[in-house]
Structure 1
Amino acid sequence: MASDGLCVVITGAASGLGAATAAILAKDGARIVINYSSSQKEAEATAELCRDAGATEVIVVQGDVSKDDDCRNIVAAAQHWGRIDALINNAGMTKHVPHHDLDGLSAEDFQRIYAVNTIGPYQMVRAARTLLEAGAKASGRASAVVNVSSMAGITGGGSSVAYAASKGALNSMTLSLGRALAPLIRVNTVCPGYIDTPWFTKGRGAEGAAKVRDAVIARVPLKVASTAEDVAALICFLATPPSSNMTGELVRMDAGMHLLA
């Protein structure tokens, strides 16, 4: 994985995909800032797992990425390292509303979802830029930003129209920032399809989530449901030196679902 000694900030890392990403990086001795918005107990448990796995240092920081001051505080937790080698923008939210139900989403819903899913990553990159550039100068290779998007941002599907639109905007922003921040910072995005995490359980309940999972497995060409660890491995690849020559990429992991279009 080649993450030994890397300084990494991960938003939305209390559980699920963010926690799985932190756990992989910890095994190679990374220094990690684990951000959470409301789940302090889960974040502390994830931090302890990372310490046990071999992380050099783990810092837990509360913050809502939709708030610029919080983004700056999250980044400030890494200031004593003098650099950031990878920023992973994983924090996200949605509201589960059928796409045909146009009355199910308010302007406030759109604003909140965009604030977390699109504006949040932008603010995190802006806050971290100086430390990311310092990381590039120290290592002699570009530092990494990895955005966690969704196939919904490509297909217009997903949990709601607002969610799909916010992830589509994040995908476009990846291209813009990839151009703007090179050569010292590279920016790539992961676009997962279905991931078997509590995300769907929270939105649809256990029975509804199980139905979604079974339907996905039955439909996708590879007949599998991606786990958090599957997608986290891809995130870690994009965050570490083996992907040093990649920027501006939208990398899909959907078990082949896009082949059915």
Structure 2
Amino acid sequence: MDLNNKVALVTGGGTGIGRATCLALAQRGAAVAVNYSRSETEAQETVNAITLQGGNALAVQANVSQDTEVHAMVQTIVSQFGSIDALVNNASITRHIPMDDLEAVTEEAWDELYAVNVKGMFYCARAVAPLMKKQRQGAIVNVGSIAGLSGAGSSLPYAVSKAAVHGLTLSLAKALAPEIRVSAVAPGAVATRWWAGREEQMQRLSGNVLLQRIATPEDIAKMICSMLEQEAMTGQIITVDSGQTL
């Protein structure tokens, strides 16, 4: 898919990987819908950065765990841009819970993480699918995690939810073919705001990965754009982790 003059929706587009992806898409000529749930200021800053560079962008609010809000968001984007050609399911949340502390994993934690990280991605894919089917072309990239491959991460529910994202990717690739391609990127550690206050830990980690560097949001954004562009790819989980999982 040539992203020039296409319309892309990026969930959680105001910060981190989402913001870097919005900027990368705009640089390739796409009009970008920057979704946010609570980070309105950051989403608008992303829009402003795109428009200052001559691009076209819109900030649109929706809690992706709420199906009705997702449909309203898609309608807003279509009324502004005409359609949606690409979806980047980036919005995710976590809770930091020691992996071996099973008693600290509450029902609320399970419900909240699954609602956003898994059901939210499904709701967004389902909402854009009819548009992409109608134009007989579309691409979706879900943002998973190496936590979903290794079973370890910021918490047990987070790791399991990301494994579910990978499974959802494979199922959607089968369900939406041949018109819509669906794959996922599985980042390792990425230098985002979530490392604030844990910079020493990040530096220790960077010395133990093969490339001796922590990936940046821009690294992940480049891969996401490449996956959207690659018309012979679907149903793939691509790891970008500087060799962390080796």
Bucket of the pairwise TM-score, normalised by the shorter protein: over 0.9
1:153 and 1:165 in contact (8 A); partners too:
yes
- Matching residue's letter, 2:209: V
Task: Tell me which moved more, 164-173 or 124-133.
Answer: 124-133
The answer to whether structure 1 residue 76 and structure 2 residue 75 are counterparts is: yes
Q: Secondary structure at the match of 2:149?
A: helix
1:65 and 1:124 in contact (8 A); partners too:
yes
Deviations 1:5-44 (A, max 9, x none): 0110010001111000000111122111110010111111
Q: Give me the whole-angstrom Cα distance separating, in 1, the residues matched to 2:236 and 2:201.
A: 28
Offset, 1:76: 1.2
Deviations 1:40-82 (A, max 9, x none): 1111111010112232x21111111000011112211222334
Offset, 1:221: 0.7
1:28 and 1:54 in contact (8 A); partners too:
no
Structure 1: 5+ residue runs without aligned partners?
Answer: none
Q: Identity over the aligned pairs, expressed in percent?
A: 38
1:29 and 1:54 in contact (8 A); partners too:
no
Q: Give me the whole-angstrom Cα distance separating, in 2, the residues matched to 1:74 and 1:165.
A: 28
Q: Give me the whole-angstrom Cα distance separating, in 2, the residues matched to 1:54 and 1:92.
A: 29
Q: Give me the whole-angstrom Cα distance separating, in 2, the residues matched to 1:72 and 1:10.
A: 15
2:195 and 2:202 in contact (8 A); partners too:
no
2:183 and 2:227 in contact (8 A); partners too:
yes
Q: Give me the whole-angstrom Cα distance separating, in 1, the residues matched to 2:82 and 2:161.
A: 32
Provide the residue aligned with 2:139 in structure 1.
Answer: 144
Provide the residue aligned with 2:221 in structure 1.
Answer: 232
Provide the residue aligned with 1:248 in structure 2.
Answer: 235
Which of 181, 185, 202 lines up with 2:180 in the alignment? 185
Provide the residue aligned with 1:46 in structure 2.
Answer: 46
Deviations 1:226-245 (A, max 9, x none): 000011110111122xx111
Structure 2: 5+ residue runs without aligned partners?
Answer: none
Give the ranges of 4+ consecutive aligned residues of structure 1 lying more than 3 Å apart after TM superposition: none
* Alignment map for 1:94-243 (pairs within 5 Å): 94-135=94-135, 137=136, 142-201=137-196, 206=197, 209-240=198-229, 243=230
Deviations 1:157-201 (A, max 9, x none): 110000000000010111111011000101000000000000232
1:7 and 1:84 in contact (8 A); partners too:
yes
1:150 and 1:167 in contact (8 A); partners too:
yes
Provide the residue aligned with 2:31 in structure 1.
Answer: 31
- Matching residue's letter, 1:157: A
> When the two structures are superposed, what TM-score results if normalisation uses the length of structure 1?
0.91
The count of residues paired between Structure 1 and Structure 2 equals 245
Q: Give me the whole-angstrom Cα distance separating, in 1, the residues matched to 2:113 and 2:147.
A: 14
The structure whose residues are more often helix, as a share, is 1
Offset, 1:258: 1.7
1:118 and 1:166 in contact (8 A); partners too:
yes
